[in-house]
Amino acid sequence: MKRPRQLSADELFSYAVKKLGGRAASAGEIRTSLLSRALDPGDVDGILKRLKDYGYLNDARFAESFASARLENEGFGQSRVLRDLRQHRVSPELAESTVSKLYAEHDEASLIEQFVRRKYRSVDREGLFGSEKELHSAFRRLLRAGFSSANSLRVLKRFAANPDLLDALENLPDEPEEQESL
């Protein structure tokens, strides 16, 4: 694979502005991108400071916008949004405080119910989660979407044709073992 052309400080700044113009990014993402292109890695901190001074780079604004979009557009739970913010290299403290503040005004059980209704809208209510396999699959999907196991089970029991099949899942951890896309 061909290595990208190394850029001077002025070229790096232009590159960063262009990159931020195309899509919002965290300081950590921009730092990584700049370090891979920098002729002199010592220039990166100065460029990040300039970007912040000009208001082009603001992790708090990025985290709030990103978390809000994940909640409103995707309907994801807290732990999924936290995990996604960490992948975007937002500091754990900032991610935690932003997500806590955003989700404080939302009831997780109603978010789960909305998520289930949206993801399974093409299935008849009577035919929804009739088998143990379907229930387990829906439960894992809710965990991957970032919802707690207790609330996920509570909501699934309302939708399940046979809620007793969920009793075996009550002692499972909240974090899914593997990262699957929804």
**pLDDT tens-digit map of 43-78:** 999 999 999 999 999 999 999 999 999 999 999 999
Q: Indicate if 113 and 81 belong to the same structural domain.
A: no
Could you tell me if residue 48 is inside a domain? Answer: yes
Could you tell me if residue 130 is inside a domain? Answer: yes
Final residue in a domain of this structure, among 103, 119, 135: 103
Q: Indicate if 68 and 45 belong to the same structural domain.
A: no
Total domains present in the chain = 3
Q: Indicate if 164 and 118 belong to the same structural domain.
A: yes
Q: Indicate if 118 and 147 belong to the same structural domain.
A: yes
What domain range is 35 assigned to? Answer: 9-53
- Check: CB of residue 114 under 8 Å from CB of residue 83: no
pTM to 2 decimals? 0.82
Could you tell me if residue 44 is inside a domain? Answer: yes
Which pLDDT score is estimated for 1?
73
Q: Indicate if 128 and 163 belong to the same structural domain.
A: yes
Could you tell me if residue 175 is inside a domain? Answer: no
Q: Indicate if 65 and 47 belong to the same structural domain.
A: no
Could you tell me if residue 177 is inside a domain? Answer: no
Q: Indicate if 67 and 46 belong to the same structural domain.
A: no
Four-point Cα dihedral 61, 66, 68, 72, nearest 10: 150
Q: Indicate if 45 and 85 belong to the same structural domain.
A: no
Could you tell me if residue 49 is inside a domain? Answer: yes
Which pLDDT score is estimated for 129?
79
DSSP, residue by residue, the chain: -PPPPPB-HHHHHHHHHHHHHHS---HHHHHHHHHHHBSSTTHHHHHHHHHHHTTS--HHHHHHHHHHHIIIII---HHHHHHHHHHTT--HHHHHHHHHHHHTTS-HHHHHHHHHHHHTTTS-TTTTT-SHHHHHHHHHHHHHTT--HHHHHHHHHHH-SSGGGGGGGTTS-SS-SS----
Mean pLDDT for all residues in the chain:
88
What is the rounded distance in angstroms from the CA atom of residue 71 to the CA atom of residue 13?
A: 32
